[in-house]
Amino acid sequence: MYIVIACLLMYVGCVLFVRTRNATTLGLTRQLSDFSTFMVPFNIPAYLLSRVPNTPFVDRRCYPELDVLEDNWEVIRDEALALYRNGYVGVSEALPASNFYRDGRWTSFYLKLYDCDIPSAYELAPRTMALIDQVPCMNIALFACLNPGKKINKHHDPFAYTLRYSLGLSTPNSDDCGIVINGQDYKWKDGEGIIFDETYLHNAYNDTDQPRLILMTDIDRPLRSKLVQGVYFYFGRFFNSLFAVDNVDSNITGIGNRLGKALLGYRAFLKRFKRANKPLYVASKVVVIGGLLGLLAWKLAF
């Protein structure tokens, strides 16, 4: 029983942490089941040991190694635009569970995913890859396009051991196209890069008739402990290898992507069930969740 109470108190503490840390928050009902809530204990060491401020935006000068990208942003832009015009910045069928790709709102071309092999990146974007290879703290990189009139809803990314570095390549350069991070509205500009903590609540919008194309990357959050830094790095490498992709060869795909297809099939079944008989759907959900919680409490108690 004490274990159950301790778990409940930890869960409440995680909810409070997320909701007091952010100037803007999700609705309470959604926050109770959001992945970011359950990841708080995992992220706490990253916050406590961070060598950069735990603020929504991080000063770009903390990462001088990124200068090589911004000094050559036109080279990267030209390669990204060529890929976009030839249809390579597209909807990733290898990531079926990602709602970013729904309704054609968001398209991408993957460049780097830790040490996973992405043959099409070196083949189709060799100059960009040559520049990225000069930035050792970069773990994930992709060209990301938010299409005209589209938006990405408010969300937290789950992991705090990295920070998000994004570089504007071909954007509307308009006040109608930006990203809101913890309530602060940033407008995209060509050739300008920003670093932010993606565990803060954020959303993006493009209320123009032009696509917004950026280089979006994840970089290491520098920590005071090399041991903790290493543990996070190897976790990130393992976790992201589950979602390995290639932009051209669909045979290159991680097990997480295959499981994602099964998850989508399960969700589709639940939606059909709900439409067909909502009272029975709700009753079944209550019985299943209540049964699982009861079984867990019984196991912990005995």
Domain boundaries, the chain: 57-253, 254-302
pLDDT-derived band at 91, boundaries 50, 70, 90: low
The pair of three-digit structure tokens given for residue 72, joined into one six-digit string: 């050559």
Between the alpha carbon of residue 7 and those of residues 40, 115, 118, 124, 200, the distances in Å are: 13, 36, 41, 49, 24
pLDDT digits (tens, 9 = 90+) for 8-45: 888 889 999 999 999 999 898 889 888 899 999 999 99
Please tell me the predicted confidence (pLDDT) of residue 248: 83
CATH superfamily for domain 57-253: B-lactam Antibiotic, Isopenicillin N Synthase; Chain (2.60.120.330)
Q: Three-class SS of residue 120?
A: helix
Residue 103 has pLDDT above 70, yes or no: yes
Task: Return d(Cα 199, Cα 43) in angstroms, integer.
Answer: 9
DSSP state of 287: H
Task: Return d(Cα 163, Cα 199) in angstroms, integer.
Answer: 9
Please tell me the predicted confidence (pLDDT) of residue 276: 81
Element (H, E) at 131: helix 126-132
Question: Scanning the structure block, which residue is given the tokens 């954007």?
Answer: 171
pLDDT digits (tens, 9 = 90+) for 174-210: 999 999 999 999 999 999 999 999 999 999 999 999 9
Task: Return d(Cα 39, Cα 160) in angstroms, integer.
Answer: 9
Task: Return d(Cα 102, Cα 259) in angstroms, integer.
Answer: 18
User: What number is the average pLDDT over the span 64-82?
Assistant: 97
